[in-house]
Amino acid sequence: MLALGFAMSQMLSDYMVPADLIPIYKAAAEKYGVDWEVLAAIHYEETRFSRGNAPTSSKGARGPMQFMPATWKAYGVDGDGDGVADIENLHDAIFSAAHYLSKSGYRQDRQKAVYAYNHSNAYVQRVLSRAEMYARIGSLVFNPDAKGNFPLPAGTFRISSPYGYRIHPISGVRKFHAGVDLAAPIGTPVYTPFDGVVTYAGWMNGYGNTVMVTHGEIMTLYAHLDKYVVKVGQKVKAGELIAYVGNTGNSTGPHLHWGAYRGAHASHLSFDPLMLVAGS
């Protein structure tokens, strides 16, 4: 697999939920009747998954889940069974966040409960959107055994354009890039990283020759292909050849545009396909 530089690795870690934290979120969620994905999203928003070394905020919030001392006094609990409710302790902080959400009426109104945690509508939207993403892609992203490799052979490509906003190389306009571009020579083999079913194989406007493969609730897209060797309805196995890198459609050079979506092919349902790569 192509080694990722520090900057790319840091970008990936911002998206990913650390695997060792998931059992803690789930235990707290089960005890207090909340969703573990929301706890994870709050932890990300507050301290980017800090484990107890988060700096105190300008308003005085402390610890991994950024509790105000007064709120902690009212809702802080002992999450790891050591007899102490410590605002800086990871287990205690996560369990206390679940406790606070529960006491804030989470079961009746999730949005209102998250707003109680941080009085910002924008914060609520970010947390719930991220939680929904975690819930939808969890079967692939959070199961280490289910994660795959890049769709191109190791050493044959470089990441030429990451996921997110960029200046479009053809139009010159700032535009959202719903995928990752992997620059590689024409004819480089393209493999599907997961078992799935081909749901599209053909020409797709600016994408040129394109293949889509559905893997349960996840759909991956491969565009600007020179040619493809699969057909709609065909079942494919992880690592199976599906196409070859090309320069078709609106393209400035040979590369594979690799996209990932939560279900349908729509920009608002996209997510960074690098989240699906083993070791990220």
For the chain, give every domain's residue range.
17-141, 158-276
Per-residue tokens: 212: 């889509």
| Cβ atoms of 29 and 36 closer than 8 Å | yes
Question: In CATH terms, is domain 158-276 a member of 3.50.50.60?
Answer: no
Per-residue pLDDT tens digits for 105-128:
999 999 999 999 999 999 999 999
pLDDT, residue 11, reads 39
- Give the pLDDT of residue 171: 80
Instruction: In whole angstroms, give the CA distance from residue 268 to residue 280.
Output: 23
Tell me the CB-side half-sphere exposure of residue 66, using CA atoms within 13 A: 19
Architecture, CATH, for domain 17-141: Orthogonal Bundle (1.10)
Q: What is the mean pLDDT of the chain?
A: 88
For the entire predicted model, the pTM comes to: 0.57
Q: Report which of residues 243 and 139 the model is more confident about.
A: 243
Tell me: the pLDDT tens digits for 192-213?
A: 988 899 999 999 999 999 999 9
Q: 């790319």: which residue's tokens? A: 8
What's the pLDDT band for 2 if we cut at 50, 70, 90? very low
Tens digit of pLDDT for each residue in 249-277?
999 999 999 999 988 888 888 888 888 87
Residue 43 has pLDDT above 80, yes or no: yes
